[in-house]
Amino acid sequence: MTGADTLLWLVHAASTLFMLGVIAVIQWVHYPLFARVGVAGFPAYASEHGRRITWVVAGPMLVELATAIWLVFRPLPPGVPGWMAWAGLVAVLVLWGSTFLLQVPQHEALRVGFDPEAHRRLVSSNWLRTVLWALRGVWVLYLLARAIGREC
């Protein structure tokens, strides 16, 4: 494997593991605390949350997507079957779909004021991303180990 290939695998794994950490904090700490902000200040809080969290997640999500795409079109190292790269890309696409089809609409509903039902839908639908990023974290570490020639 070339130095560029190694860097690609490392950047891919780093972006996935970063997002795993972010989504874990969001799911277990941040989203549940939305209910404690208070009705009067919630619209400003929700708007500021949206602005700030975008700066945290947009770059890593784009890097994860770009590297997942790149991996399916690059020659893979021995020991890494092509279906594994494709499965990783499908998982990333499901994460993006979940984000824009399930979580973003709930955030938009919450921007106008705290709505317990929108909050419940946000927290419950976000479990899909939490579980999928956790699985991807294990997956990318396994693939990285195989790509650099380590036995797992």
* pLDDT interval class at 152 (50, 70, 90): very low
Overall pTM surpassing 0.75 (yes/no): yes
Domain spans of the chain, in order of start: 3-147
| Contacts by residues 96-102 (CB-CB < 8 Å, ≥ 24 positions apart) | 96/61, 96/65, 98/125, 98/128, 98/129, 98/132, 99/61, 99/129, 102/126, 102/128
Rounded CA separation 109/88 (Å)? 31
Q: Are the C-beta atoms of residues 34 and 96 closer than 8 Å to each other?
A: no
More confident residue, 49 or 147: 49
pLDDT of residue 143: 87
User: How confident is the model over 2-38, as pLDDT tens digits?
Assistant: 788 889 999 999 999 999 999 999 999 999 999 999 9
Q: How far apart are CA 100 and CA 93, in angstroms?
A: 11
Length of the chain: 152
At 78, is the pLDDT very low, low, confident or very high (cuts 50, 70, 90)? confident
Rounded to 10 deg, the angle between the 116-147 and 82-98 helix axes is: 160
Query: Per residue in 92-135, pLDDT tens?
Result: 999 999 999 999 999 999 999 999 999 999 999 999 999 999 99
